[in-house]
Amino acid sequence: MGEFRCSDRTLLNDWHVIAERSALSSHSPFVTKLLGRDLQVTLDGRYSQKVVALETGEIICSDMRYGFIWACLAKPERDIIYLPETNEPDRHLLSGGSIAVKVSGLRAVENFLDMGHFPFVHTGWLGDEPHTEVLPYNVTITAEDEVLATECKFRQPLASPTASAEMLVDYVYRVFRPYTVALYKSNPLHPERKDVIVLFIQPIDQENCIVHSYLCYVSEGIEAAAVRSFMQLIFAQDKPILENQRPRRLPLDPRAETPIKADAVSVHYRRWLRDRAVTYGAIAHSV
Ligand SMILES: [Fe+2]
C-alpha cells in the first residue's frame, strides 16, 4: 500500500523539499524518494543541483531555497511558498533537522495543528496538567486558499528557549499546501512579533514521510543552536506518538474519527484536502 504511485495533480504539480542543502556532499549523489518515486540529487556547483528520476533517467524540475533542495515531479503550477519573515535581518534562519517518520505526512500536519496534545505529549514545555482546555479559536480559508487558524491561545510552562516563566502564548497556524504547514508563535521578549516554525513535509510514500523543519526566530537573546535543539526536543516527543497512529494514512471521511470542538482546524484541514482531491497519504472519503 505504501508504494502506491501518486496521481493527485495538486501534489504532482507542487514543489516539495527533498533534501537539506547542507547535508549533501559534492562528491556523491544523494538518493531519496518523493511521492513513491526514487530520485537522485547531484550538486552542480555551489548554487545549482540536478535531480533525476532513477527509474527513467528523466530530469526533474528542481530549485534551491531556504537552504533546502526542492523538486516538482510534473509541471509547477505555483512558486515555492514565500516567507516574508526571512527578509527580516534580525532573525535566525535555520533548519531544525530532517526527521524520517513512519506515518503519512498528512498525519504529521494534523498533529502539528493540534494544541490538544500539548499537556500530554509536551508536558512541562508546551503544556501541563490540569490546564488541558483548548480555548475557542477561529479558522478560515484565505483568499490565497490556505487554512488559517487565528486567536489560538495556550498556557505554556516553557514556550520557547527564551521563556523564563509560564505564559499564555498566542498561536497562528497556516496550512500553505497539503504537506506544508507553519506555526506563528508569540516571541517571549517581543510579544508583538512572532517566531515562525515551518514544516516542509516530504511524502516518501503514502505511509512514510520526512519532516524538514525550518525555523525563523527573532534572534535577540537566543543562539541558533538553542532554537534548533528546542525544536528537536519537542519533535522527538511527537515522533513516537505519530508512529503509533493507526491507520497510518489520514482518514478524510468526516465520520471516521469523532471531531471535537478543539479539532476545528483539523476538521477544516480534512475538508480542504477533500475539496482539492488530495488522496495521497489519505484514506479517501467514499460518497
Ligand atoms: Fe507536538
**Cα-to-centroid distance, 120 and ligand 1 (Å):** 9
**Cα-to-centroid distance, 157 and ligand 1 (Å):** 15
**Cα-to-centroid distance, 117 and ligand 1 (Å):** 7
Q: How far is 216 from 194, CA to CA, in rounded Å?
A: 9
**Cα-to-centroid distance, 51 and ligand 1 (Å):** 32
**Cα-to-centroid distance, 116 and ligand 1 (Å):** 9
104-162 pLDDT per residue, tens = 999 999 999 998 888 888 888 888 888 888 888 999 999 999 999 999 998 888 777 77
This prediction has a pTM of 0.94
Q: Give how far Cα 147 sits from Cα of 77, 138, 224, 263, Å.
A: 19, 11, 29, 13
**Cα-to-centroid distance, 70 and ligand 1 (Å):** 25
The packing angle between helices 105-113 and 224-243, to 10°, is: 110
pLDDT of residue 287: 56
* 197: enclosing H helix or E strand: strand 194-205
Which residues are within 5 Å of ligand 1 (an ion), measured at CB?
Answer: 238
Q: Which residues contact 192 (CB under 8 A, 6 or more apart)?
A: none
Listed in order, the ranges of the chain carrying CATH 3.90.380.10 are 84-283
**Cα-to-centroid distance, 153 and ligand 1 (Å):** 15
9-72 CATH choice from 2.60.40.10, 1.10.40.30, 2.60.120.260, 2.20.25.680 = 2.20.25.680
**Cα-to-centroid distance, 270 and ligand 1 (Å):** 19
pLDDT of residue 166: 84
Cell reading at 279: 488522496
Q: How far is 179 from 104, CA to CA, in rounded Å?
A: 10
Listed in order, the ranges of the chain carrying CATH 2.20.25.680 are 9-72
**Cα-to-centroid distance, 238 and ligand 1 (Å):** 5
Give CB contacts under 8 A, 24+ apart, made by 44-51.
49/24, 51/18
Its CATH class, for the domain covering 84-283, is alpha beta
**Cα-to-centroid distance, 250 and ligand 1 (Å):** 17
**Cα-to-centroid distance, 183 and ligand 1 (Å):** 12
7-19 pLDDT per residue, tens = 999 999 999 999 9
pLDDT of residue 286: 65
Kindly give the confidence (pLDDT) of every residue in the chain, 287 residues in length, as a single tens digit, with 9 standing for 90 and above. Answer: 445 689 999 999 999 999 999 999 888 999 999 999 999 999 988 789 999 999 999 999 999 999 999 999 999 999 999 999 999 999 999 999 999 999 999 999 999 999 888 888 888 888 888 888 888 899 999 999 999 999 999 888 877 777 778 888 899 999 999 999 999 998 988 989 999 999 999 999 999 999 999 999 999 999 999 999 999 999 999 999 999 999 999 999 877 766 665 589 999 999 999 999 999 999 986 65
pLDDT of residue 44: 85
CB 123 within 8 A of CB 108: no
Q: How far is 118 from 134, CA to CA, in rounded Å?
A: 10
Q: What are phi and psi of 85, to 5 degrees?
A: -60, -20
